[in-house]
A and B are shown apart, each in its own frame.
Chain A
Amino acid sequence: MDSFSTGSSGAGSHQMSQSEFMEQMKLQLAQAYAQEFVETLREKCFDKCITKPGSSLSGSESSCISRCVDRYIEASGIVGRALFKQ
């Protein structure tokens, strides 16, 4: 395996230190987790709130989406706490 390096191509790139690598990896993982979460939000809130797609998004649909996002985040917190408090 080649060593990891940062920066754009060219002579200016330098080798990544171990701590830089860890920071990068944490950041990338956090982004991946967030992306996946948002994808689930899209799926769940679309199913709940856009039941009959009309010619435009109605006010009640958009407020349903906002509430759905808030409740889903809350649900994920409840599930997490229920799993780890035992």
Chain B
Amino acid sequence: MDPSALSSPEMQQFLNQEKERAMLNEMVSKLTVKCWDKCITGTPGSKFSSSESACLSNCAQRYMDMNLIIMKRFQSMQ
């Protein structure tokens, strides 16, 4: 592959797509670590209880809410 191919439109699109995938992946894995620690306090069972799965889902959504507040606060300081 010619090095100039790195700046081709298809390559740029590919790299952007992979970059986005990597960011989403990192976010899901970070949040899974955090929410696992918060919500799964006992020994893992053969099935999640309804409160455990609700906690995981709430945990991820509240993180996004928090993110929004932090972004707003931070922007108002600029």
Residues of A within 8 A of B (CB): 1-4, 15-18, 20-22, 25-26, 29, 33, 36-37, 40, 44-45, 48-49, 64, 67-68, 70-72, 74-76, 78-83, 86
Contacts and interface: CB of A to CB of B under 8 A. Distances in A.
Chain B interface residue bracket vs A = 35 or more
Interface of B: 1-3, 5-6, 8, 10-11, 14, 18, 21-22, 25, 27-29, 31-33, 35-36, 39-40, 43-46, 48, 53, 56-61, 64
19 contacts: A3-B1, A16-B1, A17-B1, A22-B14, A29-B18, A37-B29, A40-B32, A49-B44, A64-B43, A67-B44, A71-B40, A72-B32, A72-B36, A75-B40, A78-B56, A79-B60, A81-B57, A83-B27, A83-B31
A28 to B, nearest CB: 11
Contacts, number: 97
The 5 closest A-B pairs by CB, nearest first: A82-B60, A82-B57, A71-B44, A68-B44, A76-B32
Contacts of B40: 48, 71, 75
